[in-house]
Amino acid sequence: MKKHNFSAGPCILPQEVLKKASEAVINFNGLDLSLIEISHRSKDFVDVMEQARELALEHLGLQNKGYKALFLQGGASLEFLMVAFNLLEKKAAYLNTGTWSDKAIKEARLLGEVVEVASSKDANFNYIPKGYTISNDVDYFHCTSNNTIFGTQMHEFPETTVPLVCDMSSDIFSRVLDFSKFDLIYAGAQKNMGPAGTTLVVVKEEILGQVSRKIPSMLDYSVHISKDSMFNTPAVFPVYVSMLTLVWLKELGGVSTIEKINKQKAALLYSEIDRNPLFQGFVANKEDRSKMNATFNLTRAELKEPFDTILKTAGINGLNGHRSVGGYRASMYNALPVESVQVLVDTLKELERIA
Ligand SMILES: *Cc1c(COP(=O)(O)O)cnc(C)c1O
């Protein structure tokens, strides 16, 4: 039986997506050829790319609104740099809510001035700073919607007149937002969409072309847009699997349906963490908790061994916390069934029973 997979990334994908993907590796579209051994310029693959780009915009409600969707390579980590290459003329504002924001800031500083409008580094990123101001003279504002490592999530986004850029790697397609408030969204596929190897970038075209520097072709969003995300050989398999996941999501009822399920899963786990005296959540303010990654620890360290044994017996995978936080982290991405969360909740109860 398949394990209950709480891995933070790469992470769980829908079982039917994995099945279809594995079939396409052997025989794609009945062509008697593998998906990964045909030209990316063949009609069959071009259709995959077009469908993936279209579905991404559709799920975000951004069709016909001046946005383009791209499937690039280099991970979200390359976007830290690409965003700055394409948008940073003099000065940009960044909100620092964790390791990923920190890394984004480091890359942007290679190309211009970065103002950190606020940071929760002082408390090991266990909260989301609020009440900061973004001055009107910056080229853009950058934030991270969900902090995969620390288990915090932005539930409100600032009103600003400057372009809003967001790393949504670990909560893209998990909840309804007014995505038209954002000018550039990027997300590595391997948290909520597909295998590692491709990164979704959704960009409002009008914000491009404003910087004076020369941009290397591979780092230039405009080049990728002009070539329909096929400037060079795309990551054909990750794009295909991402497309299948986006189809799966559509058939399920779309982002609004998955949001309800995600809320249900998060409520189930957090209510047990709050009730059970043997566990404590890592995040300081409940309103900052992530519905994707729940971070928690034991209140009695000596229970680690028995708890880990219970987890193993229950078939739970990927629950170890990131080394910078410790404890446990339950990643409850779109494809994780409610039943898996119930199994996890039962293990917390089981520890209480035997302790
Ligand atoms: C995982 C993650 C990244 C890094 O993604 P790569 O694809 O490994 O470069 C960046 N930002 C967030 C929020 C993440 O969760």
Residue-wise pLDDT for 303-353, tens only, equals 999 999 999 999 999 999 999 999 999 999 999 999 999 999 999 999 999
Say if residues 93 and 117 touch (Cβ distance below 8 Å): yes
At 42, the pLDDT band (50, 70, 90 cuts) reads: very high
265 and 172 within one domain: no
340 and 306 within one domain: yes
Torsion of CA 244, 249, 253, 259, to 10 degrees: 180
pLDDT at residue 10 greater than cutoff 90: yes
Domain count, the chain: 2
Task: Kindly report, residue by residue over 116-127, the tens digit of the pLDDT.
Answer: 999 999 999 999
Task: Kindly report, residue by residue over 244-268, the tens digit of the pLDDT.
Answer: 999 999 999 999 999 999 999 999 9
| Whole-number Å distance between alpha carbons of 342 and 345 | 5
We report the CATH number of the domain holding residue 330 as 3.90.1150.10
Residues whose CB is less than 8 angstroms from the CB of residue 109 and which lie 6 or more positions away in sequence, other chains included: none
Find where tokens 């790319």 sit: 49
Instruction: Tell me which residues have their CB closer than 6 angstroms to ligand 1.
Output: 9, 75-77, 100, 144, 148, 167, 169-170, 188, 191
pLDDT at residue 1 greater than cutoff 90: no
268 and 129 within one domain: no
Q: List alpha helices for 213-303, DSSP H.
A: 221-226, 236-252, 255-275
| Whole-number Å distance between alpha carbons of 337 and 353 | 25
Could you tell me the strand order of the sheet in which 279-281 lies?
A: 279-281, 293-298, 328-331
Chosen domain end from 252, 270, 300 = 252
241 and 264 within one domain: no
Say if residues 101 and 143 touch (Cβ distance below 8 Å): yes
345 and 200 within one domain: no
Chosen domain end from 232, 252, 272 = 252
Residues 53, 58, 59, 61: is their CA dihedral positive or negative? positive
| Whole-number Å distance between alpha carbons of 309 and 304 | 9
Q: What is the value of pTM for the model shown?
A: 0.98
Q: Is 248 a catalytic residue?
A: no
264 and 245 within one domain: no
Q: Is 167 a catalytic residue?
A: yes
118 and 71 within one domain: yes
Chosen domain end from 187, 220, 252 = 252
Query: Which residue puts its alpha carbon closest to atom 14 of ligand 1?
Result: 169
258 and 245 within one domain: no
H or E segment to which residue 311 belongs: helix 304-313
140 and 54 within one domain: yes
Longest dimension (CA), the chain: 65
248 and 276 within one domain: no
| Whole-number Å distance between alpha carbons of 280 and 295 | 9
Distance, CA 351 to ligand 1 centroid (Å)? Answer: 33
Question: From the CB of residue 350, how many other CB atoms can be counted at a distance below 10 Å?
Answer: 16
Say if residues 95 and 141 touch (Cβ distance below 8 Å): yes
165 and 46 within one domain: yes
- Nearest atom in ligand 1 to the alpha carbon of residue 190 is 7
